[in-house]
Amino acid sequence: MKRILLFICVLVFAPIASRAQQPSPCLQLSQVKVDGHVLHQNGAARVQLVFTAQHCYVDSGSPLGAQMPEFGVESQTGLGIEMGASGAARFDQSAVPGLLRAQEISLDLNVVTSPELELGEHKVPGVVRYQVIDEMGNRSPETLSFDIPLKVDTPRTKPAPSSYDKPGDFFDKHPIWTKVLIPVLIVAFIPLFIIASAMGDGC
Beta bridge partners of 146: 126
Residue 167 is classified by DSSP as T
Task: Give the tens place of pLDDT for each residue, 104-152.
Answer: 999 999 999 999 999 999 999 999 999 999 988 899 999 999 999 999 9
Q: Say if residues 69 and 58 touch (Cβ distance below 8 Å).
A: yes
Confidence at residue 13, expressed as pLDDT on a 0 to 100 scale: 46
DSSP string, 55-82: SS-EE-EETTEE-PPEEEE--BTTEEEE
pLDDT for 66: 84
Whether the CB-CB separation of 56 and 87 falls below 8 Å is answered with no
* pTM of the predicted model as reported, rounded to 2 decimal places: 0.67
The closest alpha carbon to 111, from 29, 52, 33, belongs to 33
Give 8-23 pLDDT, tens digit per residue. Answer: 444 444 444 444 456 7
